[in-house]
Amino acid sequence: MRLRTSQKIVWCPGCGNYGILRAFIRVLERLGEDARRVVVVSGVGCHGKIADYVGTSSFHTIHGRVPPVLTGIKLANRELIPVGFAGDGDAYNEGIAHLVHAARKNTDVTLVVHNNSVYALTTGQATATSPKGFRGKSTPRGAPEEPLNPAALLIASGAGFVARGFSGNVAQLSELILQGISHRGFSFIDVLQPCVAFNNTWEVLRERVHPVEPGRSREEALKLAYNPFATGVLYREAKPVYEDSVVAGVPEGTVEEVLESLR
């Protein structure tokens, strides 16, 4: 199986997307024969081109809809390994409702978000993760809103695997994606990705990102998530997956058991 297609890469020289592509190619190499079972789903934006560059089966879906397509693929064929690539505008603005419900559902799929904190393909508008004061096409006087914290949102939404990577650390990122694929359930990896054209964060990220050990509880993981430069697996929890529950049904619980499951 050819892991890279012959498509010419059209990302700007120096774009953080190259590191994400390299990390994923390493993952496919490490999966060996199992790479044949991988289906890539990508959203709309610069990140979405990744589907053209990898040799797996792939589906380039519409803006914001990567999570439901991943879920549908897994429900249709449980032998497949669905891996999604979304942008921050894609996942945290346009498709945020889908993201929250995918975490809550806990289908066995993996989602990698190329988080460059900007709508890059449409040339530099502020997204949900742009810092307050960000100056771009849609916010010439500075973005007035506080940014969203995706890792904290996903931990609170019930995701069983929440990680943060940096596109400048390919070795760590490939490990995080591989661990996400190995985790049974919805696995979420937010990747800090510089966009050299509209939000060049290489310097600050190179200086400040650092690895951390996973939190032992949701509370500990949330504290890690609120450190925007902490990278690694932030939270991991084994939970029943959606596709099993759909097939087998869900046992009825007592009120106490239901409340305990919500803690």
Ligand X SMILES: Cc1ncc(C[n+]2csc(CCOP(=O)(O)OP(=O)(O)O)c2C)c(N)n1
* Residues facing residue 166 across a β-bridge: 192
Residues that bind ligand X (CB under 6 A): 44-47, 63, 87-90, 94, 114, 116, 118-122, 127
Nearer CB in complex with ligand X: 94/175 = 94
* Residues facing residue 210 across a β-bridge: 230
* Window of 9-17, 35-43, 162-170, 231-239 that interacts with ligand SF4 by CB under 6 A: 9-17
Binding of ligand SF4 at residue 169 (CB under 6 A)?
A: no
14, 88, 168 from 194: Cα distances, Å: 9, 12, 9
Binding of ligand SF4 at residue 156 (CB under 6 A)?
A: no
* Window of 8-16, 19-27, 126-134, 238-246 that interacts with ligand SF4 by CB under 6 A: 8-16
In the range 188-217, which residues lie near ligand SF4 by CB under 6 A?
195-198
Q: Is 64 left (phi over 0), alpha (psi -120 to 50) or beta?
A: left
Contact criterion met (CB below 8 Å) for 86 and 41: no
Phi/psi at 91 (5° precision): -90, -35
**Burial grade of 157 (CB within 10 A; 0-12, 13-18, 19 or more):** middle
The entry of ligand SF4, ligand X, Mg ion, none near residue 44 (CB within 5 to 8 angstroms by kind) is: ligand X
Nearer CB in complex with ligand SF4: 107/167 = 167
Torsion on CA atoms 153, 226, 167, 62, rounded to nearest 10: 20
Q: Other CB atoms closer than 10 Å to residue 24's CB: what's the count?
A: 25
Q: Output the smallest distance, CB 247 to Mg ion, in A.
A: 36
Q: Output the smallest distance, CB 7 to ligand X, in A.
A: 17
Interaction mask 174-213, Mg ion, x per CB under 5 A = ----------------------------------------
Binding of ligand SF4 at residue 27 (CB under 6 A)?
A: no
Q: Output the smallest distance, CB 65 to ligand X, in A.
A: 9
Residues recorded for the chain: 263
Chain residues binding Mg ion by CB under 5 A are 87-89, 116, 120
